[in-house]
Structure 1
Amino acid sequence: MHPDTHLALHHLRAEELRTQADTNRLATASRRRHELRIRLGWTLVEVGLRLASAPRPAVAH
């Protein structure tokens, strides 16, 4: 294979890998934000339910 052709293929493949890495990085960051938002939402629901429910009487042993 001619060295110039090999170099051109190398540059093309390197650019493909960079694009895949960027896409993966963005998808991972988006997924983490989504998971954090869900976890925060359920925590707020739990806190709200605890505040809204009547306190249980203390049980003496």
Structure 2
Amino acid sequence: MHSDTHLLLHDLRSAELRRRAVRSGPAPASPGGGLRTRLGWALVDLGLRVLPRHPGRPSSVAAGPA
């Protein structure tokens, strides 16, 4: 496809999506997002603390059979 044609189709599609977004209004807020987000980050922090701190050592799962 010619680049000018591709750009024109992209512009048309983005204009159509903008019109749809204006008609539909703002997205509803997710219920309970604050607690869920904090819990998620706490679990990520916990997972990072559990990981071994030896970056030079290969893991037994990734090493495979010898």
TM range (shorter): 0.3 to 0.5
Name the structure with the higher helix share: 1
Q: State the TM-score, normalized to the length of structure 2.
A: 0.40
Q: State the TM-score, normalized to the length of structure 1.
A: 0.43
